């Protein structure tokens, strides 16, 4: 589907670097699904982006969403119900894939919580993963600058959020790169990956057996080490109490304690009856988009 004439002049066509796989008008804006050849990953990577109608007046703030285990660049845009409010608020939405694909590394698809669909938003240091599993460098050094250069996105007004493994990614990337993201939130994040089976499996494989290297990718450990509150405007986290992964994998109470220890304002909302899936995410999406819109307008 083609863009309307009113949007087309203000939304530059992708150069040959980025290939548009599909494009759809959506709430007056444009939903795109794209791919490009990544120098950081060394493979073709896919992402999706929603541009609100306000791009007709100039660059807009953006929020990057990091999806969870087994998901891809389509999951958020299809399931979360985010575009209507994003169009009203004038927010661009960015959703990258969750890992490299097509590397043909032995064992990459043997389990659902490691390898393909499970990049954990870090740069692996261990063979054979180190060559392609470079999600942190890909997002920060390549994808965001690329989109800022080619789309009407204000890269000085960026927020980040995510779900589960992607919630871990949002928290850790925001804390590891002070000032890069002006707003931060998460849905059911893996808050202390060094203390849960998902995280220990991923970190052992990607970072090696030396656990001293793991803390720099653990949101709770990172927050504990902060000299003061990195987000004085507050962090928002929503957690369902019927989430089957809550007790063993997520540990929001540990991140809550770390925030309290450094004076970081945190709104951690616990919701009876809600599980780990996208019905939960869609139920509270508006609160998260409004949270980011407020911070990005300051």
Burial 8-47 (b: 16+ CB within 10 A, else e): eebbeebeeebeeeebeebebbbbbbbebebebbeeebbb
- Give the whole-angstrom CA distance, residue 149 versus residue 49: 14
Q: Do 41 and 121 form a contact (C-beta atoms < 8 A)?
A: no
HEC string of 61-102 equals EEEEEECCCCCCCCHHHHHCCCHHHHHHHCCEEEEECCCCCC
Check if 291 is active-site.
no
Q: Which of 82, 243, 291, 292 is catalytic?
A: 243
Q: Which of 38, 48, 164, 183 is catalytic?
A: 164
Token couple for 32: 């795109």
What separation in angstroms does the CA of 165 have from each of 19, 191, 192?
27, 9, 11
* Pure H helices in 192-251: 197-207, 219-224
- Give the whole-angstrom CA distance, residue 64 versus residue 241: 26
- 3-state secondary structure at position 237: strand
Token couple for 175: 């804390």
Q: Do 65 and 76 form a contact (C-beta atoms < 8 A)?
A: yes
Q: Which of 36, 163, 251, 276 is catalytic?
A: 276
Token couple for 109: 């698809």
Question: Beta strand 92-96 with 44-51: parallel, antiparallel or unpaired?
Answer: antiparallel
- Give the whole-angstrom CA distance, residue 170 versus residue 121: 9
- Give the whole-angstrom CA distance, residue 97 versus residue 195: 25
Check if 163 is active-site.
no
Token couple for 254: 């540990």
Question: Beta strand 183-187 with 153-162: parallel, antiparallel or unpaired?
Answer: parallel
Q: Give the residue numbers annotated as catalytic, written as ranges.
A: 164, 243, 276
């Amino acid at each position: 589907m083609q863009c309307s004439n009113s949007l087309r002049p203000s939304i530059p066509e992708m150069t040959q670097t980025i290939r548009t796989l599909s494009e759809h008008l959506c709430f007056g804006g444009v939903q795109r699904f794209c791919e490009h050849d990544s120098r950081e990953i060394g493979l073709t990577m896919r992402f999706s982006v929603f541009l609100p109608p306000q791009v007709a007046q100039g660059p807009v703030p953006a929020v990057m969403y990091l999806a969870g285990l087994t998901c891809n660049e389509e999951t958020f845009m299809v399931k979360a119900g985010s575009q209507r409010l994003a169009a009203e608020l004038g927010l661009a939405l960015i959703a990258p894939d969750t890992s490299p694909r097509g590397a043909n590394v032995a064992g990459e698809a043997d389990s659902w919580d490691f390898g393909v669909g499970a990049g954990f938003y870090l740069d692996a240091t261990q063979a054979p993963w180190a060559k392609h599993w470079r999600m942190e460098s890909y997002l920060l050094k390549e994808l965001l600058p690329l989109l800022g250069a080619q789309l009407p996105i204000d890269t000085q007004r960026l927020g980040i959020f995510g779900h589960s493994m992607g919630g871990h990614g949002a928290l850790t990337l925001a804390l590891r790169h002070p000032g890069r993201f002006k707003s931060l939130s998460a849905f059911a994040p893996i808050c202390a990956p060094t203390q849960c089976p998902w995280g220990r499996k991923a970190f052992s494989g990607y970072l090696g057996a030396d656990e001293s290297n793991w803390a720099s990718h653990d949101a709770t450990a990172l927050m504990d080490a902060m000299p003061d509150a990195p987000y004085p405007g507050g962090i928002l986290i929503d957690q369902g109490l019927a989430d089957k992964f809550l007790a063993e994998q997520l540990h929001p109470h540990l991140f809550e304690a770390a925030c309290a220890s450094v004076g970081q304002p945190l709104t951690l909302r616990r919701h009876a009856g809600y599980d780990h899936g996208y019905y939960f995410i869609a139920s509270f999406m508006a609160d998260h988009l409004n949270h980011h819109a407020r911070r990005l307008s300051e």
